[in-house]
Structure 1
Amino acid sequence: MKLAHVLALAAALLALPGLPAEAQDARPNIVLILIDDVGFSDLGAYGSEIATPNIDALAARGALFSNFHASPICAPSRAMLMTGVDSHLAGVGNLPESLPREHRGEPGYLGHLADDVVTVASRLQAAGYRTTMAGKWHLGHEEPHMLPPAHGFDRSFALDASGADNWEKRPYLPIYDDAPWFEDGAPADLPEDFYSSKFIVDKTIEYLDGNEADDRPFFSYLAFQANHIPVQAPRAFVDKYIGVYDKGWHALRQSRFEGVVERGLVPGNTALGPMPEGLKEWDALTAKEKEIRAMNMAVHAGMLEAMDHHVGRFVEHLKQTGDYGNTIFFVLSDNGPEPNDPLATPGFAQWLWWVGYSRDLDRLGEKGTFAFIGPEFANAGGAPGSFFKLYAGEGGARVPFIVAGEGVPAATRHGFSFITDIAPTILDLAGVTPAREFAGRQVKEMTGRSLLPMLRGDAASPYSDEDAVGMEAAGNVALFRDGYKLMRNLPPYGDTEWYLYNLTDDPGETKDMKEAEPERFAAMMREYEAYAASVGALEVPAGYEQMKQLTVNRLHGMRGQLVAAALVAAGILGGLVWLSLLGIRRLRRG
């Protein structure tokens, strides 16, 4: 059945009074798969050497997007994905953990979804859909109204942190005291055989099978931890990639670039984007350093393949239950590849030792180990774009996006689209109109636009040449219009300068056009300022660096603990001094 016919039938059925439940099956099931920190060229369908056959199969039968963008930071992307509203209007303009103190309490930086935005899950739930969620939430848990049950999910098992261990319930950074998992809004523990990708699929199947008698369509959100730090995977998936990355990141970046070009995802005359200043040269490393870096990348590849394996399990389950044919799949990454090297943070290596994490190469990826790929391999994963996660370069913001299902024509879609477009597209598929009033209150209008005309081939993009789409995350900004991009990135890898790129001809961002096209540059600067004012995007304080701010915030939050520890230490020291003096006096008397 054609996509247009599915929508027309769904709309007609929904308009009928007294509609029996089984008649609503014409509305498609929706599966939203969010991958964490996976770059534009990390999936096999996008030119990677990593085996992702199940996601590739979805791409082969559906729409593969070559010019889709998200925020370069996870929490803002997730807020926009869930609501279809700009991240600042949704209340999550930055990573809550790295928010500068000057922004705290401002409407665009609440750190959780604002009261006047509605998630796609809430709207689908109100329209009669069954709704499930499993995986990383990261949109607030300090109050019950921040968790998934208050945002439209009938069943949920959610992690509300930037990340966590993939093998057990433990934090992955010293900024967290625990890994905050919640089932249906209540604190929850994990099973003994937990592995994040397997568990997320198992829980989703459990929730869907728990309502077998319910014939209503479903919306399932699978928010994988793969491939966020710590990079971990079963050795059966890791071993096949040992030796694959021994030539280093320059060779990988070139091969990924060639794969993207071969698949027609960028023009054949595209220039490969530059590596940011300050990154290491592969040939300058010692043999041992090369072995360590290559092994970490092998774990990264194994983790992505393991996730794809479990996606395949879920697809097979839907085929067995008869739901596959009426299911539309959305697959995307929340931002580009993770560049952080935690060992560069003073004290982190000691923390790893203190909590029992190993970096032993013989078992790297397994339970109790901690791997990461670093900025150089992350830069390769974003090829052909520049930069990586956290930064507004194409390597941080241009991500893979696939839509597949009955009625979605197999094609590569080259027009610009943005992460806020997914929620209105899902609602359009379900025949749901996003009204400005919901549950008796006025709510913000979606800033995203439905991609259905683009999926049908009726439009190249949901945006015209006159439409400007802005983005701001931790002071790194971009504005897109008419194939051009205005961009600024902050240190440590940015230089605070503004640049203008013609993404149509130069997706690698190699040629700054602001001198050649000063009028366009000036106009887009004005448009960015108007965008920032309209959504409440604030300038960060001078000298702000996101990862440094994260550490500062944690130390500030621990101030009471540190004072108490200092007092205890002072007391112990004082006691030892007193005992010493007492001993000396006794010796003198003797």
Structure 2
Amino acid sequence: MPLTEYSPGRAFPGVVGRTFDVSEPAWPEPRRAAEGAPNVLFVILDDTGYGQLGCYGSPIETPNLDRLAGGGLRYANMHTTALCSPTRSCVLTGRNHHSNHLAAITEVSTGFPGYDGYIPFENGFLPEMLLQHGYSTYAVGKWHLTPADQVSAAGPYDRWPLGRGFERYYGFLGGDTHQYYPELVHDHHRVEPPRSPDEGYHLTEDLTDRAISFIADAKQVAPNKPFFLYFATGAMHAPHHVPREWADRYAGAFDDGWEAYRERVFARQQELGLVPAGAELSRHDPDVQRWADCTDEERRLYARMMEVFAGFLTHTDHHIGRLVDFLDDLGELDNTLIMVLSDNGASAEGGPSGSVNENKFFNFVPESLERNLAAIDELGGPKHFNHYPWGWTWAGNTPFRRWKRETYRGGISDPFIVHWPRGFAARGELRAQYAHAIDMVPTVLDALGLEPPDQIRGVTQSPLEGISFAYTFDDAAAPSRHVTQYFEMIGHRSIYHDGWRAVCPWPGPSFAETGREFGTPITAEALTELDATGWQLYHVAEDFAENHDVAAEHRDKLIELIAQWYVEAGKYHVLPVDGRGQQRIAEQRPSIAPPRTRYVFRPGTQEVAQDAAPRIVNRAHTITALVTIPDDGAEGVLVSQGGVDGGFTFYVHDGRLHYVYNYVADQEFHVVSDTTVPAGRHALSFEFEPTGEPRPLEGKGAPGIATLFVDGDPIGSGELPVTIPITMGLASGIAVGSDAGSPVTDAYRNPFPFTGVIDRVVYDLSGDGVVDHAAEIRIALARQ
């Protein structure tokens, strides 16, 4: 006898009698997807430029992405926001980044509607929409969409992946992470990587394994249930980490430099039809040193940095291929709508000469060629947080000018691949219609025959702001339907309208031409001057790479587009224009807990992320561990904060107390106690007392004296002539009882767990001094 089912919320259609034999059952209808509904897979690459995939003209081997392009479509006119989190919010909501309150990354949020970092619940995520239609929903990899102060065990969790429609999650919540020592989160809790780097661990392989397992878990039980997988690798963001054999594949491949790379890629893009006939390669960027002017040592270092990046990309492509092959083995590939997108253009965060530690960029610390050369044989390995120089950034965005964080086409025009054999007939074709990241959600809904929901969990939804491009799937000649699109990123503005682009670069067309640095503030007076004289105009329908500024010849068109930019700015909460960069990191923000000067951390709890940790840079502080030392002694880390890219560690070794301060992997300062630590219960402390003022724009935090104490008695001290000025290590937070994640120092083998007993670790930022603090600790110990 067939089951009787009814929609939830409707009246029970069965019969309820006095007993079972005179009753007729009926069941609430399970939420099922439409028969044959396709799976949806978003693959989001990080910091990958228009000219870096093989199928977009690059010499870097990406055979698996090329395979998807060959079996589907490549888009030559896809756009993003010029930065990661803002683009990702567009990809998942179908709304503009300022509408999502993500003008930039959450770490630089400010207190204005388009900037505060809290994605409104009325801007529903695609997984929230697809859950209503019977889909399984998974997110794997980079998230970076939760307000930075909420990325901790204290939550709240409503803006974590599982709070925004994903049923399962495995990845990292921040903007980047160490590829060998990642800060991993599984659903709502921190987990450690399953293997060590010595055992062959790499994050991309781990993420791929997890994505495959999520799909397999559900498909073996309900093979008819479709899934939405958001697969966001940490690649190609710094650190550029890859096993050496992958980088060595490209030995010598880039010895002729970035200009030669651009020429080769542009010629190939012309052959492939990715650039229109008559298109010109953009100018040599004034901020990029000519390869011929580099010294032999510079060329050797820069070429190796690019070999590592290329190996990293090919390695990433290999693991994407594993995921694609798995779908093929399941028989699901043909009915999976796959979209592959980079979140912005290639990144310039490595600076003009590259870096072995990207955290130097965020702290305004200059690079040292000598130090970077010393690390050349270790690039790609776990010891460094490396990034290539601007020249490769510029080359990676061929044929366009500039890069990530700027709204010239180099920052916003990105490779985009769509593959769906069962959904459209086109194979290996190009599409030139204008599209933007906000168009992906509307396109998926259109392709699936679904309407955007009016409500999600009782919250009335805002209108989608993107436009479906499903009309392009089988019609290469269809006119573009996305006609107008504004851009703003850290004060850099532009707008596209019907074949024209107006651009107002900030701090200018290049740093060299204006003498201004990234992050220079824009005052009201400066904005007035910019609007009067700072806008450029390009007819991109004819000038693909923005080479010819025609503002003088078409003043009326320029004025029209400037006015249109302000219309869009008013519509989508773009104002106020804010050109500050790293300086926004120090902006005061609300937090879950009220401001305080005392923090207590317990052993065995989750590592505390940097943005949820007390801010100790440039201020006096005391950190005390309440411990019990066995009669035969103990050793190990009491507390650490940061990682290979910067931070500190406080530990016991050879019976003595040690404090190591890692200044952005540039210098290490080591303070050791004069005497050994006795057995028993003790308060082990270090105190930092500033002796000068910080100079953050010079890359220098406050200098000071670090003093070690046992129960309030000083047992050693040392000078810290310079400290980190803005942000501690990017890759690791506070860990009690070990050096979790990447090691702060190589003075020991991490995680170097403490072999005694830690009761608690107390951060005191009151500035009252260590003696009173130690007395307080002794009282606490006496009460145990």
In the alignment, structure 1 residue 382 sits paired with structure 2 residue 438: no
The answer for the alignment partner of 1:4 in structure 2 is: none
Quote the offset at 1:269 in angstroms: 1.4
The answer for the alignment partner of 2:158 in structure 1 is: 145
**SS of structure 2 residue aligned to 1:244:** coil
**SS of structure 2 residue aligned to 1:516:** coil
The answer for the alignment partner of 2:696 in structure 1 is: none
In the alignment, structure 1 residue 162 sits paired with structure 2 residue 175: yes
1:432 and 1:189, CA in 2 relative to 1: closer, same or farther beyond 3 A?
farther
Distance 2:63 2:476 in 1: 29
Distance 1:382 1:500 in 2: 20
Quote the offset at 1:276 in angstroms: 3.3
When structure 1 is superposed on structure 2, of 183-192 and 507-516 the one drifting more is: 183-192
1:349 and 1:550, CA in 2 relative to 1: closer, same or farther beyond 3 A?
farther
Confirm or deny: 8 A CA contact 2:137 2:168 kept in the other structure.
Answer: yes
Q: Which residue among 439, 442, 446 is the counterpart of 2:457?
A: 439
The answer for the alignment partner of 2:541 in structure 1 is: 504
Distance 2:130 2:96 in 1: 20
Quote the offset at 1:275 in angstroms: 3.5
When structure 1 is superposed on structure 2, of 551-560 and 201-210 the one drifting more is: 551-560
The answer for the alignment partner of 1:188 in structure 2 is: 191
The answer for the alignment partner of 1:546 in structure 2 is: 581
Quote the offset at 1:230 in angstroms: 0.8
Map 1:295-314; keep pairs closer than 5 Å. Answer: 295-314=304-323
Q: Which residue among 419, 434, 456 is the counterpart of 2:437?
A: 419
Confirm or deny: 8 A CA contact 1:83 1:423 kept in the other structure.
Answer: yes
In the alignment, structure 1 residue 485 sits paired with structure 2 residue 501: yes
Quote the offset at 1:158 in angstroms: 3.0
Distance 2:31 2:706 in 1: 72
The answer for the alignment partner of 1:269 in structure 2 is: 278
The answer for the alignment partner of 1:369 in structure 2 is: 384
Map 1:50-65; keep pairs closer than 5 Å. Answer: 50-65=60-75
Distance 1:278 1:241 in 2: 26
The answer for the alignment partner of 1:6 in structure 2 is: none
The one-character-per-residue Cα deviations of 1:259-300 (angstroms, maximum 9, x if unpaired) are: 111111112311111243322121222111111111010011
Map 1:245-394; keep pairs closer than 5 Å. Answer: 245-341=254-350, 342=358, 343=360, 346-347=364-365, 360-394=375-409
Confirm or deny: 8 A CA contact 1:72 1:389 kept in the other structure.
Answer: yes
The answer for the alignment partner of 1:13 in structure 2 is: none
In structure 2, give the amino acid aligned to 1:151: R
The answer for the alignment partner of 1:470 in structure 2 is: 486
Q: Which residue among 70, 95, 99 is the counterpart of 2:105?
A: 95
**SS of structure 1 residue aligned to 2:473:** helix
Map 1:70-81; keep pairs closer than 5 Å. Answer: 70-81=80-91
| Structure whose residues are more often strand by fraction | 2
Distance 1:66 1:302 in 2: 25
Confirm or deny: 8 A CA contact 1:40 1:382 kept in the other structure.
Answer: yes
The answer for the alignment partner of 1:136 in structure 2 is: 142
Distance 1:573 1:337 in 2: 40
Query: Percent same amino acid among aligned pairs?
Result: 27
Q: Which has the larger radius of gyration?
A: 2
**SS of structure 2 residue aligned to 1:219:** strand
In structure 2, give the amino acid aligned to 1:568: E
**SS of structure 2 residue aligned to 1:568:** strand
**SS of structure 2 residue aligned to 1:210:** helix
The answer for the alignment partner of 1:568 in structure 2 is: 687
In structure 1, give the amino acid aligned to 2:500: Y
In structure 1, give the amino acid aligned to 2:142: K
Distance 2:57 2:132 in 1: 40
Confirm or deny: 8 A CA contact 1:253 1:380 kept in the other structure.
Answer: yes
Confirm or deny: 8 A CA contact 2:139 2:168 kept in the other structure.
Answer: yes
The answer for the alignment partner of 2:112 in structure 1 is: 106
1:158 and 1:459, CA in 2 relative to 1: closer, same or farther beyond 3 A?
farther
The answer for the alignment partner of 2:741 in structure 1 is: none
Distance 1:530 1:120 in 2: 27
Confirm or deny: 8 A CA contact 2:121 2:459 kept in the other structure.
Answer: no
**SS of structure 2 residue aligned to 1:403:** strand
When structure 1 is superposed on structure 2, of 37-46 and 254-263 the one drifting more is: 254-263
In structure 1, give the amino acid aligned to 2:117: G
Confirm or deny: 8 A CA contact 1:414 1:460 kept in the other structure.
Answer: no
In structure 2, give the amino acid aligned to 1:135: G
The answer for the alignment partner of 1:519 in structure 2 is: 556
Quote the offset at 1:491 in angstroms: 2.1
1:454 and 1:110, CA in 2 relative to 1: closer, same or farther beyond 3 A?
same
Q: What RMSD in Å do the two structures reach over aligned CA positions?
A: 2.9
Confirm or deny: 8 A CA contact 1:90 1:117 kept in the other structure.
Answer: yes
Distance 1:366 1:271 in 2: 38
Confirm or deny: 8 A CA contact 2:101 2:115 kept in the other structure.
Answer: yes
In the alignment, structure 1 residue 205 sits paired with structure 2 residue 212: yes
1:98 and 1:279, CA in 2 relative to 1: closer, same or farther beyond 3 A?
farther
In structure 2, give the amino acid aligned to 1:274: R
The one-character-per-residue Cα deviations of 1:11-39 (angstroms, maximum 9, x if unpaired) are: xxxxxx99888883411111110000000
Confirm or deny: 8 A CA contact 1:24 1:216 kept in the other structure.
Answer: no
Confirm or deny: 8 A CA contact 2:142 2:174 kept in the other structure.
Answer: yes
Distance 2:113 2:164 in 1: 19
Confirm or deny: 8 A CA contact 1:129 1:216 kept in the other structure.
Answer: yes
Distance 1:488 1:539 in 2: 15
In structure 1, give the amino acid aligned to 2:179: N
Confirm or deny: 8 A CA contact 2:32 2:133 kept in the other structure.
Answer: no
1:358 and 1:435, CA in 2 relative to 1: closer, same or farther beyond 3 A?
farther
Q: Which residue among 116, 119, 122 is the counterpart of 1:116?
A: 122
1:414 and 1:359, CA in 2 relative to 1: closer, same or farther beyond 3 A?
farther
Distance 1:158 1:358 in 2: 32
Distance 1:456 1:76 in 2: 30
Distance 1:151 1:236 in 2: 39
**SS of structure 2 residue aligned to 1:24:** coil
Confirm or deny: 8 A CA contact 1:336 1:397 kept in the other structure.
Answer: yes
Confirm or deny: 8 A CA contact 2:140 2:231 kept in the other structure.
Answer: yes
Confirm or deny: 8 A CA contact 2:101 2:118 kept in the other structure.
Answer: yes
**SS of structure 1 residue aligned to 2:621:** helix
Confirm or deny: 8 A CA contact 2:346 2:396 kept in the other structure.
Answer: yes
**SS of structure 2 residue aligned to 1:222:** strand
**SS of structure 2 residue aligned to 1:540:** coil
**SS of structure 2 residue aligned to 1:425:** helix
Confirm or deny: 8 A CA contact 1:45 1:56 kept in the other structure.
Answer: yes
The one-character-per-residue Cα deviations of 1:489-514 (angstroms, maximum 9, x if unpaired) are: 21273656211111121121110111
In structure 1, give the amino acid aligned to 2:463: E
Distance 1:419 1:575 in 2: 53
Confirm or deny: 8 A CA contact 1:139 1:146 kept in the other structure.
Answer: yes
1:549 and 1:243, CA in 2 relative to 1: closer, same or farther beyond 3 A?
farther
The answer for the alignment partner of 1:5 in structure 2 is: none
Confirm or deny: 8 A CA contact 1:98 1:547 kept in the other structure.
Answer: yes
Confirm or deny: 8 A CA contact 1:134 1:156 kept in the other structure.
Answer: yes
Confirm or deny: 8 A CA contact 1:330 1:402 kept in the other structure.
Answer: yes
How many residues end up aligned between the 2 structures? 540
Bigger relative CO (Cα 8 Å, ≥ 6 apart): 1
The answer for the alignment partner of 1:48 in structure 2 is: 58
1:130 and 1:555, CA in 2 relative to 1: closer, same or farther beyond 3 A?
closer
**SS of structure 2 residue aligned to 1:45:** helix
The answer for the alignment partner of 2:419 in structure 1 is: 404
Quote the offset at 1:539 in angstroms: 3.4
Distance 2:586 2:289 in 1: 24
In structure 2, give the amino acid aligned to 1:366: G
Quote the offset at 1:250 in angstroms: 1.1
**SS of structure 2 residue aligned to 1:241:** coil
